[in-house]
């Protein structure tokens, strides 16, 4: 297997527990329970044939469920890699998420049950949310934000975050949400790449029982004129902690927003107008601003939300992600609200104050559909099933998984201890770039296999190809590709059309290359095998090895660094760093910890290497490429419990041998 194919779970060094062979031998199958199939939104297999026979007709039918100010002229204009969907149409995303439900007499329906980590609760109906969004939209205008201006959002998971995103959509000001766990530096880079005019933030949020600061990193990001595009900062008071407010720049939300008029005319946006940017890690140090536009995105997320989660009017749907990631954008906010469904939003950590927090929420709000990530399921497994067993989870009828391949053990645990062996599980494969779910069971139709994301969504043409782009026979592994365009696909990388072509469309001209390895079994089911590039998946979050390496070498004492992803029982993968220090710097456990903190400050705590190993050398090929596979083997051979390992004789030997051989790995 090529060097690149050895990153994710399925592709670890031979002999580790999650090899793809082990996965594909998982033979239990779970047909949809008959009662579930009978009532499902998608209960007719014909949906697949229909979409295949007439892709444009299929998506046009889905688009017709939305409200349009002006209908589209053309469903699709496809000049690979440039797609235009629903050209000529005009609509507004916030109108579709709010006004039309209120106009249809559903204003009293709950849009969100929100719960803060300390236990505070807020219930927001569609009518209230529409008013809140109108006020916020007028406040944004009062702060000088105009259609087309970018707005950065750096907030805790509080209702105001959803309000701010929808207010941006209402006035046609694209948002770029930066996850609250990112550092001041990461925030600054994203603000500057997007040239955001306004930052919406809060004094802080609650995490693990303590208030964490958000305003201070914003101040640090903006210090010394580092973000020249930013004119104003709008600040929500959430924790009450002390913050400094810059005169003329910073404005309290409570001073400005509540006094605004609730009525705000939604902008008539063209189908292909920019809805938002969301930065994600690629294979270089610079994150990519993924571009999503208005109509196709909303069509994609609303249709997939409805079919995959089998959404009915009386469902209480909980996507336990953070709004800061694409899962939150598509399946907490836009998809569910476009469908007029009732959601749960929870601010904090799953084990605060105790590991039963989630199950208490499920019981109290009678959650019927739960969508989460394998890393969270594995954490619950570790805490034990007794926490869920204390609660009445009988309201649950469907479970979902996203973010990384789910190992069959976690699948079965989820099925048994959370789903009471009666709930289908939808394992959904997709990415920031795809905008919406691409490979997933339809719960009333698809027989599931633990560990497989099963089959492409109707209209999605996925394939597994070899290095030359030929489809591999069933039962073999290769690279995942998508052959046909889909409405919610990324339209580009902000400001960098060349990188867009290069990253996704150059490996196989005309085919979309997502960067994942996959295998298709004899039944045509897809088994995702992890990334085939230098992107790691840590707790379902994408991290670039290059970005972490850059953060390490930005430290004065570091001469060179290499980072690899290694298997971790809880987080899926974990970053392991190999560091060569400059002359005069002394390797020590304390210094390893210091470097970990340095990475946290540069990127964010999620990027902290789990281990730092000091070495005198790095193994390189003759062409000078770091031999990451060897480093992965070395890192995998070590207990990951200790955070710093001083190079010992065997490591040094292995590295020296490899360097001396200098053989190319590919």
Contacts of 235-238 spanning 24+ positions with Cβ under 8 A: 235/201, 235/202, 235/203, 236/155, 236/158, 236/160, 236/200, 236/201, 236/202, 236/203, 237/202, 237/203, 238/156, 238/158, 238/202, 238/203, 238/204, 238/205, 238/206
571 touches ligand WTA by CB under 6 A: no
Toward ligand WTA, which CB reaches closer, 8 or 174? 8
Residue number with CB closer to ligand WTA (68 or 371): 371
| In contact, 262 and 135? CB cutoff 8 Å | yes
Residue in 134, 350, 403, 444 binding ligand WTA, rule: CB under 6 A: 403
- Picking from 306, 378, 372, 294, the residue whose alpha carbon sits closest to that of residue 335 is 306
Q: Is 630 in the site for ligand WTA (CB under 6 A)?
A: no
Q: Does 463 bind ligand WTA (CB under 6 A)?
A: no
Radius of gyration, alpha carbons of the chain: 24
Does the protein bind ligand WTA through residue 446 (CB under 6 A)?
no
| Shorter beta-carbon distance to ligand WTA: residue 490 or 613 | 490
Asked whether position 534 contacts ligand WTA by CB under 6 A, the answer is no
Q: Is 431 in the site for ligand WTA (CB under 6 A)?
A: yes
Candidate list 279, 346, 430, 525; residue touching ligand WTA; CB under 6 A: 430
Interface of this chain with ligand WTA, residues 260 to 289, rule: CB under 6 A: 280
Binding of residue 515 to ligand WTA (CB under 6 A): yes
Please select the residue that binds ligand WTA; options are 432, 446, 544, 615, rule is CB under 6 A: 432
Q: Does 514 bind ligand WTA (CB under 6 A)?
A: yes
CB 55 within 8 A of CB 484: yes
**Should residue 427 be labelled a site residue for ligand WTA when binding is judged by CB under 6 A?**
yes
Residue 197 or 305 with smaller CB distance to ligand WTA:
305
Interaction between residue 170 and ligand WTA (CB under 6 A): no
Residue closer to ligand WTA (CB basis): 112 or 526: 526
Query: Are residues 308 and 317 in contact, defined by beta-carbon separation less than 8 angstroms?
Result: no
Residue 334 found at the interface with ligand WTA (CB under 6 A): no
Stretch that binds ligand WTA, among 77-85, 190-198, 398-406, 582-590 (CB under 6 A): 398-406
User: In the bound complex, what is the minimum distance in angstroms from residue 544's beta carbon to ligand WTA?
Assistant: 12
Q: Are 142 and 256 in contact (CB under 8 A)?
A: yes
Binding site for ATP, residues?
Answer: 403-405, 427-432, 516, 531, 542
- 404 lies in the binding site for ligand WTA (CB under 6 A): yes
> For the purposes of burial, counting CB atoms within 10 Å of the CB of 636, is it exposed (0-12), middle (13-18) or buried (19 or more)?
middle
Q: Considering the rule CB under 6 A, would residue 450 count as an interface residue with ligand WTA?
A: no
CB 230 within 8 A of CB 243: no
Binding segment (CB under 6 A) for ligand WTA, from list 170-178, 262-270, 323-331, 613-621: 323-331
Residues 157, 435, 85: CA angle, nearest 5 degrees: 130
Q: Is 517 in the site for ligand WTA (CB under 6 A)?
A: no
Torsion angle of the four alpha carbons 436, 438, 439, 441, in this order, in degrees rounded to the nearest 10: 60
- Give the contacts of 53 (CB within 8 A, at least 6 positions apart): none
Report angle CA 127, 204, 221 to the nearest 5 degrees: 110
Compute the distance between CA of residue 346 and CA of residue 372 in angstroms, rounded to an integer: 12
- Minimum distance between the CB of residue 325 and ligand WTA, rounded to whole angstroms? 6
Among the candidate windows 86-94, 120-128, 248-256, 325-333, which touches ligand WTA by CB under 6 A?
325-333
Among 178, 227, 183, residue whose Cα is nearest residue 598? 183
**Residue 507 CA, distance from chain mean position:** 24
Residue recorded with tokens 């106009």: 103
In contact, 9 and 530? CB cutoff 8 Å: yes
Q: Which of residues 579-618 bind ligand WTA (CB under 6 A)?
A: none
Given a contact cutoff of 8 angstroms between Cβ atoms, the answer to whether 175 and 140 are in contact is no
Q: Which is nearer to ligand WTA, 347 or 533 (CB)?
A: 533
The CA-to-CA distance between both ends of the chain, in Å, stands at 8
Find the length of the chain.
Answer: 666
Residue from 453, 532, 538, 630 binding ligand WTA (CB under 6 A): 453
Residue ranges of the annotated binding site are 207-210, 327, 403-405, 427-432, 516, 531, 539, 542, 553, 555, 558
Applying CB under 6 A, the site for ligand WTA has a residue count of 22
Q: Which stretch binds ligand WTA (CB under 6 A): 114-122, 301-309, 322-330, 467-475?
A: 322-330
Binding interface with ligand WTA (CB under 6 A) = 280, 325-327, 402-405, 427-432, 453, 514-516, 528, 531, 537, 542
């Amino acid at each position: 297997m090529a060097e690149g194919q050895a990153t994710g779970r399925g592709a670890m060094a031979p002999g580790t527990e999650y090899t793809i062979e082990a996965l594909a031998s998982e033979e239990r199958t779970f047909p949809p329970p008959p009662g579930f199939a009978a009532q499902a939104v998608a209960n007719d297999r014909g949906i697949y044939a229909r979409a295949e026979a007439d892709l444009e007709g299929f998506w046009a039918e889905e688009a017709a469920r939305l409200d349009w100010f002006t209908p589209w002229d053309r469903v699709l204009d496809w000049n690979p890699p440039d797609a235009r969907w629903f050209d000529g149409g005009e609509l507004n995303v916030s109108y579709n998420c709010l006004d039309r439900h209120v106009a249809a007499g559903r204003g009293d329906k709950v849009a969100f049950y929100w719960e803060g980590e300390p236990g505070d609760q807020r219930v927001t109906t569609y009518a209230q949310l529409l008013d809140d969004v109108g006020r916020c939209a007028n406040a944004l205008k009062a702060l000088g934000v105009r259609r087309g201006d970018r707005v950065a959002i750096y907030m805790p998971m509080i209702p105001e975050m959803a309000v701010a995103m929808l207010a941006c959509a209402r006035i046609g000001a694209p948002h770029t949400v930066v996850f609250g766990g990112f550092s001041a530096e990461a925030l600054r880079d994203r603000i500057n790449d997007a040239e955001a005019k306004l930052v919406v933030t809060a004094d802080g949020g609650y995490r693990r029982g303590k208030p964490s600061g958000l305003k201070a990193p914003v101040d640090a990001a903006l210090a010394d004129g580092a973000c020249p595009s930013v004119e104003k900062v709008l600040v929500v008071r959430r924790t009450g902690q002390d913050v400094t407010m810059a005169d003329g720049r910073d404005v309290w939300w409570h001073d400005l927003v509540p006094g605004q008029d609730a009525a705000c005319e939604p902008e008539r946006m063209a189908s292909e107008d920019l809805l938002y940017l969301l930065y994600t890690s690629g294979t270089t140090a610079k994150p990519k601003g993924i571009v999503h536009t208005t109509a196709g995105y909303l069509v994609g997320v609303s249709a997939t939300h409805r079919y995959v989660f089998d959404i009915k009017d009386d469902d209480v749907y909980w996507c336990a992600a953070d709004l800061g990631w694409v899962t939150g954008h598509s399946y907490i906010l836009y998809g569910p609200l476009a469908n007029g469904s009732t959601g749960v939003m929870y601010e904090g950590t799953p084990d605060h104050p105790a590991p039963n927090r989630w199950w208490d929420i499920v019981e109290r709000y009678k959650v019927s559909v739960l969508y989460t990530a394998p890393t969270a399921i594995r954490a619950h497994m570790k805490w034990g099933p007794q926490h869920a067993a204390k609660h009445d989870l009988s309201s649950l009828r469907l479970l979902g998984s996203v973010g990384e391949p789910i190992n069959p053990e976690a699948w079965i645990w989820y099925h048994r201890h959370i789903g009471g062996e009666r709930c289908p599980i939808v394992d959904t494969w997709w990415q920031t770039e795809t905008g919406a779910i691409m490979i997933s069971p339809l719960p009333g139709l698809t027989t599931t296999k633990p560990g497989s994301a099963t089959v492409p969504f109707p209209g999605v043409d996925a394939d597994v190809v070899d290095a030359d782009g030929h489809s591999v026979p069933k039962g073999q592994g290769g690279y995942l590709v998508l052959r046909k365009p889909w409405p919610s696909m990324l339209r580009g990388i902000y400001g960098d059309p060349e990188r867009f072509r290069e990253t996704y469309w150059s490996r196989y001209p005309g085919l979309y290359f997502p960067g994942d390895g996959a295998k298709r079994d004899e039944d045509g089911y897809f088994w995702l095998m992890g990334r085939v590039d230098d992107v790691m998946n840590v707790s379902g979050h994408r991290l670039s090895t290059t970005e972490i390496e850059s953060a390490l070498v930005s430290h004065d004492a570091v001469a060179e660094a290499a980072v690899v992803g290694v298997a971790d029982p809880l987080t899926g993968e974990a970053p392991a760093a190999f560091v060569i220090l400059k002359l005069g710097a002394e390797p020590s456990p304390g210094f390893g910890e210091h470097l970990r903190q340095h990475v946290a400050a540069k990127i964010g705590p999620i990027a902290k290497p789990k281990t730092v190993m000091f070495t005198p050398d790095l193994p390189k090929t003759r062409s000078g490429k770091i031999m990451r596979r060897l480093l992965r083997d070395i890192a995998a051979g070590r207990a990951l419990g200790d955070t710093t390992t001083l190079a010992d004789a065997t490591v040094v030997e292995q590295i020296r041998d490899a360097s001396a051989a200098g053989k190319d790995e590919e």
